[in-house]
Structure 1
Amino acid sequence: MCKSKKRLDGKTAIITGGTTGMGLRIAIDFADRGAKVIIACPYPDEGASAIKTVYDKTGSEKVIYKYLDLASLESVRQFAADIMNTEDRLDILVNNAGVGVVGDFLTKDGLNFIMQVNYFGHFLLTLLVLPLLKKTGRPLEPSRIINMSSILHNIGKIDLKNLNKTNYWYKIQIYSNSKLALVLFARELTCRLRSSRGTHVVINSVDPGLVGTNIYYSAGSITGLIIKLLFYNLNKTPLEGAQTAIHVVMDKKAGEVSGEFFKNCKRTTAHWNAYNEKVAKQLWDESVRLVKMSDQELNRCFLDL
C-alpha cells in the first residue's frame, strides 16, 4: 500500500478510465489529497456516478468528468484540445483505461480495437497534452505520466508487420501486445524527452498485479465469472491494485527516474523485450503513422508553451 501522506493541492490530474475499478480508486485518492481531478471515459452516466462517489468519500468538488473515447482518434484530439484550451497546468496523466478480450475488429480509424483503446489512443493523447505537462513540470517536482501495463506484458509481442491486424492473434495476445507497447512507449518517450533540455516530465509504467475488476467479463459473462472465481484468492481488490500507480505519482524517488517499471510499490524490471531500443523506436514510428500524426504536428508536441 502507498503510505505517502503527500498533498496534491493546486495540482491537476487526468485519469483515463477514472470512473470505475482502479481508475476510480486513484481518482478518490488524488481528490482526497486536494488535487483537481479530471476523469475521462466514453460513458457520461458512469462519469456522473463517479463524481458523486468521489464527493461522497472525499467531499471534493474539484472533480470533473470529460468525454473521451479512446477508440476514436477524433475524440482523443477533441479531448486533448479541450484540455489545452481550458487548463493552465497538468501535473499528472494516468493512462489507466483499457479493455480486455472484447473483440478482434477494426475501428473506423482502421485500428485494431483492443490496441487502439489500450495503446494507440493513449499514445496520441500523451503526445497531444505533452506541451502542458512540460509547461507544468519543475526540477524538483516533475510532471508525471503513468502507463498502466499488466503482468501479461511478459507474453506480449511487437511484430510490426502484424501489430494492427485482425483475425491474426488470439485476443489475449492482442491485449498482452498492447501492454508491452505501453512499456516500450514509456522507454522511447523518455529518450526523446532527455534530448530536450529543460524538460521536467517523467513517464513510468506500472504492473498493478492481478486485480479483480470487471475487465474479466470482457471474455463473456459466464467465462468472466468463472475466471474471477478461479483467481478469487489471488486477486487484489481495485483499491489494492491502484496502490502502485499512486505510489509512482507520490514517491520522490519515482519522480527521479523515467522509462522504468514498478510493481507492488517498488521499482523492478519489466520483461527483457521491453528494453529493446531498436524495437521501441520502430514501434514509435509505426504508432505515429497509424494515429496519423504529421511531422509538423509531432514537432509541436515537443515545443514549449
Structure 2
Amino acid sequence: MYAVIIALITIIIIIFALYQKKKNALCISRRRLDGKTVIVTGGTAGMGLHIATDLAHRGARVIVACPFEDEGTNARKQIVKETGNENVVYKYLDLGSLQSVRQFAADILKTEDRLDVLLNNAGVGIPGDFLTSDGLNFIMQVNYYGTFLLTLLLIPLLKKTGKPGEASRIILTASMLHRIAKMEMENLNKTNYWNKIRMYGNSKLCLVLFGKELSKRLKGSNVVVNNIDPGLAGTRIYKSANTVLGNITILILNSCFKTPWEGAQTSLHVALDEEAGKVSGEYFINCEIGTPSKQACCDKTAKMLWEESVRLVKLTENELQHCFKSL
C-alpha cells in the first residue's frame, strides 16, 4: 500500500515538474553585441554568470561586478574560456556600501566610453537583519538602495550611448515575492521589525516602483528601464538562511521550476529583444510583459519612495540633476 502511495506521489511530482518546465520561456534572440558594453552586477555566479556568459558569446564587452574578488577573478577566467571573448572585465562592487557604489560608478564613467545595458542582477536572500555602516537595513541596501544609487549615477553614460531606435537599457531584477511586500515608508529600514522574507519582498517591490518612476523621468532620453521576474530558479540565494534547507530547496526548484540558466532567460530577452527595447516601465516574466502587484502600480507611492531613497543614499540636489545630464 505504501509503495503504491509513494509511486503515485512520485508520478504527480514528475507530471507537475514537466508542466512547470514546459511553461518556462527561452530567449530566442540571435542579436550580436559586437562593439556594445554591458554591466552585469552579480555576474559572477548563478543567473548572473549565465547572463554574462551569454552576452560575452555575442561579442559584447562584459563588465561583471561583485564584492568577492576571488569569485570575480575566477568568473572572468571562466567566461573568457567558454566564449573566447577576452573583452571581459571584473570590477569590485559592494552594493552594501554607498562609498563602494560611488567608487564603482566613478570608475565606469572615467574608463568607459559607452554603456548599452546595465543589468542589475545582484542581490541577497535573507542572511541577516542588521544595519550597514551607512545606517541602512542590509537586505534593503544590497537589493534596492545600492542598485538605486548605482543606476542613477550611471544614467549620464547610458544617455550618451542611447540613440533613436536603439535605446540603452536598464534592467532591474525583481521577484514574485514583491507581491507579499508591505509598503510602510517609515519602517522600511527597521531591524527586528519585519519577517526577513517579507523584508526581501519589500526590497523587490521597491525595485518595481523605482522602475516605474525612473521610466517617467527618462521619457524621451533614449534610455529604457524595465523590471524582470526570473521565476523560481534554484540559485545559492536560498542558502543564505540555512545551508541544508537551502540545498534541498535548490534541488526542488531546479527539478520542478527553473535552473539558474532558465532563470536567466527573461533578463536576456529584455536585454536583447528588439521589441523589449521599445518599452519602458514594464514588468517582464517568462519573456513577456506581465502585471505586477497592485501596490507596484501606485504612482503616489513610487514618487514618495523616490524622494525617500534620494535622501537615504545621500544624493544632493546638484548630484541628482547631474545624473540626468548626458556626458
Cα distance in 1 for residues equivalent to 2:244 and 2:194: 23
Structure 1 equivalent of residue 67 of structure 2? 42
Deviations 1:206-258 (A, max 9, x none): 00000001111001112212333444532311111000000001111111110
Cα distance in 2 for residues equivalent to 1:200 and 1:90: 12
AA aligned to 2:132 is T
Structure 1 equivalent of residue 189 of structure 2? 164
- Asked if 1:292 corresponds to 2:314, the answer is yes
3-state SS of 1:236 partner: coil
Structure 2 equivalent of residue 243 of structure 1? 265
Structure 2 equivalent of residue 260 of structure 1? 282
Give the deviation of 1:30 after TM superposition.
0.5
Stretch of structure 1 that moved more, 215-224 or 96-105: 215-224
Structure 1 equivalent of residue 255 of structure 2? 233
Structure 2 equivalent of residue 15 of structure 1? 40
Alignment TM-score, normalising by the size of structure 2: 0.91
Checking the alignment, whether the CA contact within 8 Å between 2:113 and 2:157 is kept in structure 1 is yes
Structure 2 equivalent of residue 96 of structure 1? 121
Structure 2 equivalent of residue 222 of structure 1? 244
Alignment TM-score, normalising by the size of structure 1: 0.97
AA aligned to 1:181 is C
1:38-117 alignment to 2 at 5 Å?
38-117=63-142
3-state SS of 2:59 partner: coil
Checking the alignment, whether the CA contact within 8 Å between 1:153 and 1:180 is kept in structure 2 is yes
Deviations 1:92-150 (A, max 9, x none): 00000000010000000000000000000000000001000000001111000000111
Structure 1 runs (4+) deviating above 2 angstroms are 225-235
Q: Out of 151, 155, 165, which is 1:126 matched to?
A: 151
Checking the alignment, whether the CA contact within 8 Å between 2:253 and 2:259 is kept in structure 1 is no
3-state SS of 1:164 partner: coil
AA aligned to 1:218 is S
- Asked if 1:204 corresponds to 2:229, the answer is no
3-state SS of 1:219 partner: coil
Q: 1:232 to 1:251 in 2, by over 3 A?
A: closer
3-state SS of 2:256 partner: coil
Structure 2 equivalent of residue 148 of structure 1? 173
Deviations 1:160-203 (A, max 9, x none): 01011111001111100011110100000011112xx4x10000
Structure 1 equivalent of residue 14 of structure 2? none
Cα distance in 1 for residues equivalent to 2:254 and 2:281: 32
AA aligned to 1:20 is A
Number of matched residues? 302
Checking the alignment, whether the CA contact within 8 Å between 2:234 and 2:249 is kept in structure 1 is no
Q: Out of 272, 279, 295, which is 2:301 matched to?
A: 279
AA aligned to 2:280 is S
Cα distance in 1 for residues equivalent to 2:290 and 2:85: 34
AA aligned to 2:42 is G
- Asked if 1:5 corresponds to 2:30, the answer is yes
AA aligned to 1:174 is M
* Identity across matched positions, percent: 62
Cα distance in 1 for residues equivalent to 2:72 and 2:241: 24
Cα distance in 2 for residues equivalent to 1:103 and 1:47: 23
Give the deviation of 1:298 after TM superposition.
0.5
